[in-house]
Chain A
Amino acid sequence: MNKIKSVIIIILILGFSSCDDDFLDVTPSNSGDASTSIQTLADANVMLTGIMSRMTSSSYYGRNFIIYADAKGGDLTTFSMGRGLDGLYSFNHSPTSGSYSGFWNSIYYSILQANNLIVNIEKLEAEGAEANFDDIKGQALTARALMYFDLVRIYGKPYSYDKESYGVPNVLEPLDALAQPLRATVADNYNQIITDLKDAQPLLSKSKNNGYLNYYANLALQARVYLNMEQYPDALNAAQEIIDSEVYSLYSNSEWVDSWTGQFGSESIFELAVLPSEADLGNSSLSVYLRRAGHQSSSAIGQFIASDYYLNRLGEDPDDVRFGVLSYDEVSPTHLGASYKYSGDTSLSGDGKSTATAVNIKVIRLSEIYLIAAEAAFHTDKELAADYLNEIRKRAPNLAPATAGTISIDMILDEKSKELFTEGQRFFDMLRLDKDITFNDDLGGVPISTRDKTIDRSFYKTILPISQEEINANPEIGSQQNPGY
């Protein structure tokens, strides 16, 4: 009987030994509790890193946002449909299919991260935290301004066209899961953008901060935003402060081509880092989307190539240094339509990392600031405008410099196209300035039934629809759908 007793005791011990309250409290090993994850300066830094990381996502600066403005702006065309993102080119958009809601989703996700960081810093500051959160907060505010600026340009009409029309919901703090925010006006969005930029400006460090935002990046963004708002003196002031600071310098003609093989060059005011084990999209990267079909990888199917309009523009001077990042495409061995800005160079050297597809995204660089300065100055001082323009225009050595007499908005715009090709700018400039956009559909003979060959900003599809998915979850916003959809 003793044996039985001891066996029963063992059984009871085995059976009940794990009877413990903590037993049911299992925590994840790769995540922390959201409510307590920002307590210190180091925590805040980690969250700021997270924001930058989100901005490199494929549906934002990592790829789609860059393609967006070039595919829609007429500088790019496609040789064959169905290769990927061709809906952007063909404007094949509706709320239910081809809504490209990835922009909406991924930018609002990034905004959430910025909001979360800003709100938590303000909370810590209110509680009297000793650490200095200024620079982090300034970066978060500037990043939020950039995100709203990008969103409102995708979903709202240009400020210069109809600023009282719908922009995007203006959300400044993390929302409850069941919140259903509605759209603000374009003007409201721009006001918030300026407020954020102005609030951030004094908080930011003036030193270079590779891969992150600083005081000059904030100014550069102000210059861009003011240009869109047609507040030219403000745009000019911001641009001039950057130029005059001499923190950044333009690439010389001999440096220009090689600048793409390097990271954080002298022109880079805001550059997002893309590393092989981080935001590198490999076979679906910008590098692969823009290079020649079949170049080094049979997965490279040549999504987009330069339109003849662009090549003719750049060809005004066959010696233009900017031909240096172009190579031939599948059209013919002489059609230099493949862009290698995101491959380092035309032999796929990359920008100093182990893969040629992990190439940094130059979000704002000094050349653009010169062109903004030129355009902003144009309205008051044509000579100054010509000076700024010529600093860039000289990259086509055989073209005559602009003068106060010859300079025009179109000339500045053409220069911007040449300089910032495949850098995500063209379409927004064309809409802002109410230009016609003509597409080179005939190059590949692609049948396009969803837009005309030439459009302008009165075409309803120049802004994207609010996706049906959003409307399903947030029905009220359905009544604020962009007209035409």
Chain B
Amino acid sequence: MKVRLTGFLTLLMLFLVHLSFAQGKIVTGTVTDDSQLPLPGVNVIIQGASRGAVTDFDGKYSLEVAEGQVLRFTSMGFEDQLITVGASNVINVSLRESATALDEVFVVAYGTATKESYTGSAAVVKNSDIQDVPTASFQDALVGKAPGVNVTKGSGQAGSTTSIQIRGIGSMNASTQPLYVIDGVPVSSGNTGQLSGSILVTNNIMNTLNPNDIESITILKDAAASALYGSRAANGVVMITTKRGKKGEPRITIKSSTGFSPSWATDNYEPASTQENVNYLYRVFHDYNTSNGRDEATANADALRRLNVKFNKHGYYFETNGIGVSENLMIKGMTDGLVNREGKYYDWEDAYFRTAVNQTQDISVSGATEKTNYYSSISYSKDEGRVKINENERISGRINLEQKIGKYIEFSAKVNVAQTELSGFNDSRNLSSNYYEQTRNLLWGLYWPTDYKTGEPWTARYGSLAQNNVYYDKEWENSSRTLRVSAIEGLKVNILPELNVQTLFSYDNIETKDHLYYSRLHYNGQGLGTVDEMSTTTRSLVSSTTLNYAKDFGAHRLDFLAGFEAEKNQTDYIRASGKDLPSSNLHTVATAGDTDASAYYWGNNMMSILSRLEYSFDNKYYVSGSFRRDGSSKLGPDARWGNFWSVGGSWNMSKEAFLEDVDAISNLSLRASYGVNGTLPPSNFGWRSLTGYTAKYMETAGGVLSNVADESLSWETNYSTDVALEFGLFKNRLYGTIEYFSRDSKDLLQSVPISRITGFSSTLKNIGSIRNKGLELSLGGDIIRSNDITWSASVNASFVDSKVLELSEGADIIWVNDGDATAQYIYREGESTLAFYGYEYAGVDPENGKSRYYVNDENDPQAGSFLLNGRGATYNYRDANYTIIGDGIPDVFGGINTQVKYKSFSLGLDFIYKIGGKLYDGAERDVADDGYYWERIRSQYAYDNMWTEQNPSGYLPKVRGTDLTDAIQKSGRHIYDASFLRLKNIRLNYDLPSTLINQIGFENVRLYVVGTNLLTFSKYKNADPEVNQFAARGWQTPFMKNYTFGIELTL
């Protein structure tokens, strides 16, 4: 109403003006944003004359001007646009959202801020930056979008969890992940449910949030930004704000997309041909014989015999022309079965993988009036993995409602209901069921899913220990269904214009039901059939009340916040298991002959008080301070309460007299902050020494001491410093930030290894310390700015140096990254927090094809059986010592984003890159071993590059039949340069001409195509170089290439 009134007044004024300037004319037009949506409330001012107009609900304006006058269109959050009035009476304008808008409001801890006034370090990612990218969770779309934010994913399996590390690795034992806050309420993140324990499938809770419901994401990086979240904020905070309605008529948006993933993003250990692998295995067997002193003829005969024993049953036999080790074998088909398989090999890749299809359907309705603001949506999406049976589905609905009641009270409700269903697949080094490993290392083309003699399914385990999952996939199933219902009710009372009280009450219920079934025919079915049903329900209640005071006193401004918060989290777990299932049609515990159950609960509570004071003078000088006191049930009574605080300041130099006249500088500001926040222990009861009662024996409860604890266990403390210079040059055509940070994490919870004679392997102590420091750069600019074509680009770079400063008694800690122990690391004082630890590999001796290692004897650098490059070296790894063999932390990583718009077309390219740092290839021990495994297949690269008498320059050792275990050692042999550049997304957009669609009732119709992971450049070629947070590659499902086609209709 207000807008209309203003519009009316403007018109009235114009009418009056019209009377005095008879030479003018009426110009009308519509102001829209990038996506052709009308913008209400845009100021249209005639340059040099103190009059103008404001656009109405439909973005329309009308103004009396003279030809040659210049109109300036301004709106908060958009770049100003100047247009000289020409002959036309219609001037339609499209405003660009401003990347650097200093007055743009964004969400921060317990409030909002503008870039100009904010004293902390925060990165804002808007919906438009991540929209259309087909990811199950918004987290994946953040990769490369903000400096200092390292987004990694260990697995390409649909629905799996994502890791975000902000400003380095801040902990060894507690979380290194940020706190997630959705619409002001801290929420749980990471994996949900229990299947990760049984089949190593992770299920990301964040998948319950529809990325299309997100308006913006603020990533709080330094203490000034995050210390208001106190004991959980050391690793930063990711704040998600969901959408609101925009003033105007109700807007209906329908969005639909379908995508395809026909292939992997890169090559992944592509196997050598069946012929080559047969030759390879023959070579191993032949060598086994000659190494044991037998002659070539015997060796040849024995090797053939062994091959025949292994593969006769699959319908093949072998012959050679000669008797040497390098024979090319003739692979013949057995003729005594139903089929003769000669010349035919089974294509397991084709049997196990598919072109994955992903689709999303979204409908949202939103709008706003003076009193009411609403947004509602319903969404369905389905995401297939390339691995058959792997699928992730989501149905979600949301209603966000804000209502003003009377003059003083504002009420809000945000309700989200989402159900995800993940049917996963084993994602780890499990020989029986990891498709990916099987096709690359275990399943010969000589194996078939059927018996060549009978045509019946092959049910025995293959000699390589793989199982025939073409058959067994029908004999098991698993799924993980998560239902999340969350409601946030808010009430705000504006007591005085400068004083309000706000309260939020949130209820979040996440229920994950896991189902795991094996038939009696399945190799995991124990011959009886088993089924497990597990339910894990986490309920979180958060109550938060804040008092906000803000007032201007002339050029002085004061903001004050005080609040109280309480949080209760409880998880209930129920498992019912059945064994001995009578019918293959009934996959339920109810039918089982033998049942078993368990149920218990765990949780934690937290209570906090918080406050913040902000002061600014003349919009030039800003200071702020915050304080929070947290009490957590995760700590013992004496260590329970902690204080966290921060101070920050910023100076807007460009507003100083000495810079005000420098035209080139449109913005220059300096800010700095220091503060303390923390990380709580991961375990709810880590400070208590406990007796557990799970040691059941003869159907009687049995008790055992289950840990040895330290009652004074405390949170980890993080001291962070931040200094940044922000600049905008040439009317903000070039803008950027240079930011230095240093983050000292102390009192780190360390699982201190203790003598096993105590009965335990470790105890938790607050001992270690880590320092992450670095530089974050971001630079953006508009390369071309014209009416028809714009081209903008931005680049960000993060240089992070992450070092271990202090360990318990200075003692090294050797650790592995997961249950698979893909790689081995060491925490050592003064070294990287991601230092690979193993034998230092010195390459293959070109003379004899043997592996060489540097001995690394601390006392005698020349100790060893021979000298290589002046250092002691050996052929036997047992004589060498472990040492640091690489650093998994890159020198620099970041993103390059660019967008070109031409009329209704726009093309965006998002690159991510990583320079420097190593990766550890944990799968190489399998695909390029030295002959240790006697029925595995070898990768093409490993076959081509193995040392033989004919290929003395091969960089992989000579394969032997003597059970060399070199390849399975943790050694530098598996270290590769991890640098890469990847075209993460390419996005092409086309807005249909409004003349066409307006007639059929649409406001806007947008077509788009997104390609993901289409191009990758790297030195490491064996598999995907985009590795997980541990910089290690194992047998996790790789990333896919994806092509998604979408349409968005706005009514």
Give chain A's interface residues, CB within 8 Å of chain B: 3-4, 7-8, 11-12, 14-16, 18-19, 23-35, 37, 43, 46-47, 49-54, 56, 80-82, 94, 96, 101, 104-105, 108-109, 111-113, 116, 169, 171, 174-181, 210-211, 273, 275-279, 282-283, 294, 296-299, 301, 354-357, 447, 449, 469-470, 472-474, 477
Contact = CB atoms under 8 A, between A and B. Distances in A.
A33 B704 contact: no
B500 to A, nearest CB: 10
Contacts of B703: 32, 37, 43, 46-47, 49-50
B125 to A, nearest CB: 32
Given A26-B604, A33-B691, A469 B756 contact: yes
Contact of B759 (A8, A16, A111, A298): A111
A354 B579 contact: yes
Nearest to B761: A105
Contacts, number: 261
B499 to A, nearest CB: 11
A404 to B, nearest CB: 44
Interface stretch (B263-271, B618-626, B681-689): B681-689
Contacts of B409: 3-4, 7
Interface stretch (B168-176, B375-383, B523-531, B944-952): B523-531
A377 to B, nearest CB: 36
Given A7-B409, A174-B705, A174-B758, 10 more contacts: A19-B566, A30-B693, A33-B689, A35-B689, A50-B702, A53-B697, A105-B761, A211-B697, A273-B698, A470-B757
Pairs A-B, 10 closest by C-beta atoms: A112-B759, A15-B545, A49-B702, A50-B702, A53-B695, A53-B697, A37-B691, A34-B689, A474-B755, A26-B633
A4 B753 contact: no
Contact of A171 (B523, B688, B710, B757): B757
A275 B761 CA distance: 27
Contact of A278 (B543, B568, B697, B756): B697
A31 B691 contact: yes
A180 B693 CA distance: 28
B844 to A, nearest CB: 20
Contact of A30 (B579, B694, B756): B694
A299 B523 contact: yes
A29 B756 contact: no
Interface stretch (B326-334, B394-402, B583-591, B594-602): B594-602
Q: Which of A23, A27, A30 has the most CB of B within 10 A?
A: A30
B460 interface: yes
B621 to A, nearest CB: 34
B8 interface: no
B693 A473 contact: no
B868 interface: no
B997 interface: no
B696 A8 contact: no
A109 B700 contact: no
Given A15-B564, A33-B691, A80 B934 contact: yes
B760 A49 contact: no
Contacts of A53: 695-697, 702, 704
A12 B503 CA distance: 9
A14 B542 CA distance: 11
A293 B748 CA distance: 49
Interface in B352-410: 406, 408-409
Nearest to B633: A26
A273 B663 CA distance: 87
A297 B505 CA distance: 54
Contact of B505 (A7, A14, A23, A273): A14
A234 to B, nearest CB: 29
Interface residues of B, number: 92
A52 B600 contact: no
A29 B601 contact: yes
B698 A49 contact: yes
Contact of A449 (B526, B696, B698, B962): B962
A181 B704 contact: no
B697 A108 contact: no
A298 B933 CA distance: 19
A414 B128 CA distance: 81
B467 A298 contact: yes
Contacts of A33: 688-691
Nearest to B495: A4
B323 interface: no
Nearest to B288: A447
A473 B813 CA distance: 10
Given A11-B493, A14-B505, A472 B526 contact: no
B594 A23 contact: no
Given A26-B605, A49-B703, A278-B696, A14 B493 contact: no
Q: Which of B601, B684, B706, B756 has the most CB of A within 10 A?
A: B756
Contacts of B752: 177-178
A357 B752 CA distance: 37
Contacts of B568: 18, 23
Contact of B526 (A80, A96, A180, A282): A282
Interface string B240-259: 00000000000000000000
Nearest to A16: B564
Contacts of A113: 704-705, 759
Interface in B601-635: 601-607, 631-633
Contacts of A49: 695-698, 700-703
Contacts of B20: none
B640 interface: yes
B755 A180 contact: yes
Nearest to A31: B690
B684 A26 contact: yes
Contacts of B688: 28, 33-34
Contacts of B697: 49-50, 52-53, 56, 211, 273, 275, 278-279
Q: Which of A3, A34, A80, A354 has the most CB of B within 10 A?
A: A34
Contacts of B524: 283, 299
A23 B566 contact: yes
Contacts of A176: 758
A50 B640 CA distance: 32
B351 interface: no
Contact of B878 (A81, A94, A171): A94
B932 interface: yes
A473 B690 contact: no
B754 interface: yes
A56 B606 CA distance: 40
A302 B622 CA distance: 74
Nearest to A466: B756
Given A50-B704, A278-B697, A354-B528, A30 B692 contact: yes
Q: Which of A19, A43, A178 has the most CB of B within 10 A?
A: A178
A11 B706 CA distance: 43
Contacts of B408: 3-4
B461 A299 contact: yes
A396 to B, nearest CB: 34
B491 interface: yes
A18 B460 contact: no
B413 interface: no
Nearest to A44: B703
A112 B692 CA distance: 14
Contacts of A8: 493, 495, 501
25 contacts: A7-B409, A7-B493, A11-B493, A15-B564, A19-B607, A26-B603, A28-B684, A28-B688, A31-B692, A34-B688, A34-B690, A34-B691, A49-B696, A50-B704, A53-B704, A80-B934, A82-B932, A82-B934, A96-B882, A175-B755, A177-B758, A297-B526, A298-B460, A470-B755, A472-B814
A3 to B, nearest CB: 7
B783 interface: no
A416 B272 CA distance: 52
Nearest to A15: B545
A25 B633 contact: yes
Contacts of A470: 755-757
Contacts of B526: 282-283, 297, 355, 357
